[in-house]
Amino acid sequence: MCGIVGVTGVGNALPYLLRGLEKLEYRGYDSAGVYLANPDGTDFLVKEKGRVSALVAEAQAQGVYGTAGIAHTRWATHGNVSVENAHPQASSDHRFHLVHNGVIENYQELQGQYLADVTFASQTDTEIAVQLVDKFAKEEQLSTRDAFAKMISLLDGNSAYGFLLMDSQEPDTLYVAKKKSPLLIGVSDHGNAVTSDAAAMLDMTADFIELMDGDIALVKPNSVEIFGADGQAVDRKPFHLDIDPAQTDKGAYPYYMLKEIDEQAVVARTLAGHYFNDEGEIVGIGCGIGDTIKQADRLYIIAAGTSYHAGLVGKRYFENWANIPTEVHIASEFAYDQPLLSEHPFFIFLSQSGETADSREVLDNIKRQGFPTLTIANVMNSTLTREADFALPVLAGPEIAVASTKAYTAQIIVQAILAYSLGDVELDLKQELAKVAVEIQAITDEKMTFQAIAESALQNQHSAFYIGRGMDAAVALEAALKLKEISYIQTEGFAAGELKHGTISLIEEGTPVFALLTQAKTAGLLRGEVAQVAARGANTITISSKSLARPDDAYVLPEVDELLMPLLAVIPAQLIAYYATLARGLDVDRPRNLAKSVTVQ
Ligand code: G6P
């Protein structure tokens, strides 16, 4: 979703800003813009619809430069995708420029109350914010900091913002503010930066100061001043981020998604190494987590998208291994339609980014109700990990492709390890995870098989199905999401037994139906369902596990413990989605309309 970068004190800021925007592309956006200013009074504003590459070309054509600047990738919320609505937004006299992540809930009221006489150039809530700063600076003779603070004080309590403001009269200063939307200040001895995502600024620094909700900061070439919500100066220490910038490059791979699919074997090994010692005992989970969960009578897993699908699999571990009843909920539903809770609930938030607004809304609600919380996330130091009582890392490494792959399998593994630590399970999970890693590797080594399946089954198709029962039904949902979100083939994931209650009417001659068959208890029933759709013309493609396989199955998975089979069953689906999308000539990593980190509700 929207991304912010700002730089001051590095000589020409333009290359840092443009590289930063390129690093933010993975989050999803539909327009981009940049504003730069110089001490001699010159400044530049360039905005483009579409890709950052268009902005780069235009900025270079115009000979843009500046000793400080701000830049933004926009994912449209208020107002359509257009150059006018792209950020930075400017005040009418072009003294102030502002980029913004988030939503100003009362922007129309503010417009009516304070800006009735102003002509607006865009339909964005952000323009109201920058026009207000201009108005207060001019009419009330306020300093830029005070005008900025006054504008912020007028925003509705539910508003979310990460703001980065420049005043052309102070061309080296970045004015920063944040609430409910992540912003970091990057510090170095050769200039300072502001960003919504550390990955965007790693070329310049790995030392970041995290801003808290309500903070306002002034970032200059050689100094950073931060004021807390009460207006008093605060001292916030930088932390060092240990990310190898190479991890965010795709190396020799044509797309991040393929690289991330391949990384899953390594991630499984990393997790086993992190959470178990050499004797096979669990070490990476603090006892506070286990003790608190053991007092719970029910677990509530809260998540969105792919993370929700990982939760559907995780539920089986908590119920089978830890013997704790577990419910899995879609965050955006739970937030406004909270079900009756058990007497002693424990909440687990699953998230790749740790920033998903829907999940954060639930966490806020749950904290107010005083229940214990744990976040399992890939991005530690994210809002969800900071604000929950406990946090466990997913350790998948940066996931750049919008379609989540390695974060899904890693979230499943962390849930399995946590459930295992709570119960008395006979299985040697550490050893089993080593086997999982070997088998994931074996499946990913057979890419040509999945390319062939994708090209023969999905070419010229406009719809498809994934079916399964039990854990396979949970994987079918994720498999269908992978295929539909990047290839745009309308795909349904289905509990196979439900097909006959309505959806089977959609089966036509040649409709691809992928069946996932890894659970012995229901294998016979699923075979029956495959036969039912085949009898109605479906092109059935069965992916089965070794002990349940039949000769005409399209692919036979190696076998690990049955409860861990989702970790293998999803890999063919990821690869089929990848190759189906490639065959359609689409951008695998950046599907239309989607964002990697969804920071609005
Ligand atoms: C977006 C992404 C999905 C992701 C979902 C939840 O929609 O495109 O891939 O599953 O958000 O995100 P989270 O970071 O909380 O796992």
Average confidence score pLDDT of the chain? 94
Measured in angstroms, how far is the CA atom of residue 311 from the centroid of ligand 1?
A: 13
Q: What is the pLDDT of residue 381?
A: 79
Q: How many CB atoms lie within 10 A of CB 591?
A: 19
| 486 CA → ligand 1 middle, Å | 14
360 lines ligand 1 (CB under 6 A): no
Residue 91 neighbours by CB distance under 10 Å:
23
pLDDT score at 203: 87
Specify the 3-state DSSP secondary structure of 406: helix
How far, in Å, from the CA of 377 to the mean position of ligand 1?
A: 11
Ligand 1 contact via 330 beta carbon (within 6 Å):
no
Quick one: pLDDT band at residue 315, thresholds 50, 70, 90? Answer: very high
Q: In the annotation, is 2 catalytic?
A: yes
Q: How far is the CA of 137 from the centre of ligand 1 (A)?
A: 40
Which ligand 1 atom sits nearest the alpha carbon of residue 595? 8
Catalytic-role residue among 2, 259, 430, 482: 2
d(CA 524, CA 468): 12
Residue 53 has pLDDT above 70, yes or no: yes
ω into 372 cis (within 30 of 0): no
Ligand 1 and 477: CB distance under 6 A: no
CB 71 within 8 A of CB 34: yes
**Residue 170 token pair:** 């102070």
Instruction: Evaluate: CB of 181 within 6 angstroms of ligand 1.
Output: no
Cβ-based neighbour number of residue 396 at 10 Å: 28
510-537 pLDDT, tens per residue?
Answer: 999 999 999 999 999 999 999 999 999 9
Q: Which residue shows structure tokens 């539910």?
A: 158
- The reply to whether 178 belongs to the active site is no
Residue 181: predicted pLDDT: 83
Which is the closest atom of ligand 1 to the Cα of 306? 10
Residue nearest to atom 3 of ligand 1 (CA): 305
313, 332, 353: which to mutate for ligand 1, most atoms within 8 A of CB? 353
SS3 303: strand
Q: Residue 20: is its pLDDT beyond 70?
A: yes
Find the mean pLDDT for residues 225-253: 84
Pocket of ligand 1 contains residue 539 by CB under 6 Å: no
Q: Quick one: which atom of ligand 1 is closest to the CA of 353? A: 14
% of the chain beyond a pLDDT of 90 = 83
Helix axes 406-422, 264-275, angle to 10 degrees: 30
Domain ranges in the chain are: 2-248, 250-444, 446-601
Residue to mutate, 2, 257, 328, 598, ligand 1, most ligand atoms under 8 Å from C-beta: 598
Alpha helices in 423-470 (DSSP H): 429-444, 447-458
Give yes or no for a contact between 463 and 580, defined as CB atoms under 8 angstroms apart: no
| pLDDT band per the 50, 70, 90 thresholds, residue 286 | confident
Instruction: Report which of 97, 237, 77, 255 is spatially closest to residue 160, judged by C-alpha positions.
Output: 77
Q: Which CATH class is domain 2-248?
A: alpha beta
CA of 27 to the centre of ligand 1 (A): 10
User: What separation in angstroms does the CA of 44 have from each of 60, 71, 90, 505?
Assistant: 12, 12, 11, 58
pLDDT at 98: 98
Residue 245 has pLDDT above 70, yes or no: no
- The sign one gets for the Cα dihedral 121, 122, 127, 128 is positive
Rounded Cα distance between 133 and 151, Å, is: 6
Token pair of 216 as six digits = 């306002």
Counting atoms of ligand 1 from 1, which one is nearest the CA of 402?
A: 8
The pLDDT tens digits of the residues spanning 192-201 come to 999 998 888 9
> How would DSSP label each residue in 492-559?
EEEEGGGGGGTGGGG--TT-EEEEEE--HHHHHHHHHHHHHHHHTT-EEEEEEEGGG--TT-SEEE--
Mean pLDDT (whole number) for 48-73: 94
Decide: 122 in ligand 1 pocket, CB within 6 A: no
Superfamily for the 250-444 domain: Glucose-6-phosphate isomerase like protein; domain 1 (3.40.50.10490)
The arithmetic mean of pLDDT across residues 140-156, rounded, is 96
- By most ligand atoms within 8 Å of CB, the mutation choice from 25, 197, 260, 306 for ligand 1 is 306
> Within 13 Å, how many C-alpha atoms sit on residue 172's CB side?
12
Q: Is 353 in the pocket of ligand 1 (CB under 6 A)?
A: yes
Name the 3-class secondary structure at 457: helix
The torsion angles phi and psi of 504, rounded to 5 degrees, stand at -60, -20
Report whether residue 594 contacts ligand 1, using a CB cutoff of 6 Å: yes
- Any idea which fold 446-601 has? Rossmann fold (3.40.50)
CA–CA–CA angle 63, 68, 71 (5° rounding): 75
Q: Is the pLDDT of residue 246 over 70?
A: no
Q: How far is CA 331 from CA 337, 349, 528, 596, in A?
A: 10, 9, 35, 16
Answer whether 596 contacts ligand 1 (Cβ < 6 A).
yes
What distance in Å separates the CA atoms of residue 565 and residue 316, rounded to the nearest whole number? 12
Question: What distance in angstroms lies between residue 220's CA and the mean position of ligand 1's atoms?
Answer: 34
Chain center to CA of 150: 32
Tell me the CA–centroid distance for residue 306 and ligand 1, in Å: 6
d(CA 12, CA 67): 5
Tell me, using a 6 A CB cutoff, whether residue 264 lines ligand 1. no
- Could you tell me if 385 and 391 are in contact, meaning their C-beta atoms sit under 8 angstroms apart? yes
* Helix, strand, coil tally for the chain in percent (to 5): 40, 25, 35
User: Is the pLDDT at 343 greater than 90, yes or no?
Assistant: yes
The rounded distance, in Å, linking the Cα atoms of 59 and 93 is 22
> What's the CA gap between 351 and 588, in Å, rounded?
22
What's the number of CA atoms in the CB half-sphere (13 Å) around residue 529? Answer: 28
The answer, yes or no, to whether any atom of ligand 1 lies below 6 A from the CB of 482, is no
Q: Helices marked H in 45-167 — which ranges?
A: 52-61, 107-114, 125-139, 144-153
Band of residue 157 on the pLDDT scale cut at 50, 70, 90: confident
* Identical fold between 2-248 and 446-601: no
Q: Which of 23, 47, 484, 596 is catalytic?
A: 596
For ligand 1, atom 2, name the residue with the nearest CA: 596
Its pTM stands at 0.80
User: Is residue 351 within 6 Å of ligand 1 at its C-beta?
Assistant: yes
Question: Tell me, what's the pLDDT at 1?
Answer: 67
Q: How far apart are CA 479 and CA 492, in angstroms?
A: 9
